[in-house]
């Protein structure tokens, strides 16, 4: 992805209307994780302004992974860097997917928390998902790792925006309270 797309959508201070999901898959081989570069990319949600049915980024990803035909006798680690945490419906779908695909572990690093409907259902969705996946708010190191791995940065180092760490810490506390059911 280009630098501007990353900054516009992953900056944890803003409220972009798009969701970007960067993913990478690794296969466990003994004690080592082997990167599977053919399964490293990003997807974004399909909005009403695009052809076809609207689709959240998580659902777009689940449609892709179903065609990968991963060996059920192997163990895989899937890492996501996502600009918004999953909504309730996506969290439920991810939980079901992970229950049906126990050979895949998922670690989600979210830039910000999805709270669009404020009904609290997104919170129960995240709590259900945490039983099958690790969910964290992105820290400076995670933003930098995402930048290095997924952004066409032309050799430029990641430049944090003002307030990145403070906002990350606030969101992390909020996420931990949600996951504890508070």
d(CA 136, CA 9): 17
Over residues 22-40, the mean pLDDT reads 95
Tell me the whole-structure pTM to 2 decimals.
0.94
The domain that holds 34 is classified in CATH as 3.40.140.10
User: Annotated catalytic, 53?
Assistant: no
Over residues 147-156, the mean pLDDT reads 97
Over residues 22-39, the mean pLDDT reads 95
Residue 14 pLDDT class (50, 70, 90 cuts): confident
- Set 3, 53, 58, 165: catalytic member: 58
Q: In the chain, how many domains are there?
A: 1
Both tokens of 70, joined, read 């991963």
The pLDDT, as a whole number, for residue 118 is 53
The domain containing residue 80 runs over which residues? 3-180
The pLDDT, as a whole number, for residue 17 is 86
Beta strands in the chain (DSSP E): 20-29, 32-44, 76-82, 104-110, 133-137
The pLDDT, as a whole number, for residue 19 is 95
- 51 or 55, higher pLDDT: 55
Both tokens of 164, joined, read 């990145």
The pLDDT, as a whole number, for residue 117 is 61
Q: Are residues 28 and 168 in contact, defined by beta-carbon separation less than 8 angstroms?
A: no
Of 163, 157, 154, the closest CA to residue 1 belongs to 154
d(CA 64, CA 178): 29
The string over 151-178, giving b where at least 16 C-beta atoms fall within 10 Å of a residue's C-beta and e elsewhere, is beeeeeebeeeeebeebbeebbebbeeb
């Amino acid at each position: 992805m280009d630098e501007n797309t990353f900054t516009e959508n992953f900056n944890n201070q803003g409220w972009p209307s798009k969701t970007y999901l960067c993913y990478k898959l690794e296969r466990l081989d003994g004690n080592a994780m082997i990167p599977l570069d053919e399964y490293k990319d990003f997807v974004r949600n399909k909005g009403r302004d695009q052809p076809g049915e609207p689709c959240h980024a998580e659902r777009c990803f689940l449609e892709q992974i179903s065609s990968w035909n991963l060996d059920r006798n192997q163990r895989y680690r899937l890492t996501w860097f996502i600009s918004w945490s999953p909504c309730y419906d996506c969290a439920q779908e991810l939980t079901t997917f992970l229950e049906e695909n126990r050979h895949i572990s998922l670690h989600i690093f979210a830039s910000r928390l999805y709270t669009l409907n404020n009904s609290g259902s997104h919170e129960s969705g995240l709590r259900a998902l945490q039983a099958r996946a690790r969910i964290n708010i992105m820290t400076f190191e995670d933003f930098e790792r995402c930048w290095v791995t997924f952004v066409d940065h032309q050799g430029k180092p990641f430049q944090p925006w003002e307030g990145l760490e403070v906002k990350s810490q606030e969101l992390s506390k909020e996420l931990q309270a949600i996951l504890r059911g508070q």
